[in-house]
Amino acid sequence: MSQDETVGPLDQAVGYMLKRAATALRVAMETALRPLDLTVPQYSCLEVLSQRPGLSNAELARAVFVTRQSMNLVLRGLQDRGLVTRPATAPQGRALPSTLTPAGQAQLRTASGLVRAVQNRMLEPFSAGERDRLLHDLIACADALTPPDAE
């Protein structure tokens, strides 16, 4: 296989470096959240529910980037800890809308501060303008790879 048939040197491959950054971010978040006994998917679920209460299991799974089966385990764990509540029966259809409890809101405030500190550390090398540009560029990358009917 020639160099023209590969992505080239990994330290110059955007996709590889993006995955490296995402992995480093995940590890740093896991480390920060460990004292709260929260995983990254659990934290993400709390964060999404705080901004979009009442989402179904399937909607939460899409928003948190996990499977529906995994989200069911995440929700069950959060519910067992009293951080999330779901009705015993669906108010309409089959979806059981989830909401944060007061304990969940308190846990989220603490967790958000820890995650914000990780994000700030990651973005420390960038100016405010460079941060805005990075966010814009990451959105453009995601949009370029998202099929039109997936939105």
pLDDT at 97 (0 to 100): 81
pLDDT at 11 (0 to 100): 81
Tens digit of each residue's pLDDT (9 = 90 or more) over 80-107: 999 999 876 656 666 668 899 999 999 9
pLDDT at 112 (0 to 100): 98
pLDDT along the chain (151 residues), means of 10: 69 90 97 97 96 88 95 94 82 73 97 98 97 96 87 54
pLDDT at 13 (0 to 100): 87
Catalogue the E-assigned strands of the chain: 84-85, 99-100
- Count the alpha carbons within 13 Å of 122 in the hemisphere toward its beta carbon: 19
Give buried/exposed letters for 43-80 (b at 16+ CB in 10 A, else e): bbbbbbbeeeeebbbebbbebbebeeeebbebbebbee
Distances (CA, A) of 10 to 23, 137, 142: 15, 20, 20
pLDDT at 7 (0 to 100): 73
Q: What's the pTM?
A: 0.85
The one-letter code for the residue type at 33 is: L
pLDDT at 139 (0 to 100): 95
Separation of alpha carbons 84 and 61, rounded Å: 15
Separation of alpha carbons 58 and 95, rounded Å: 8
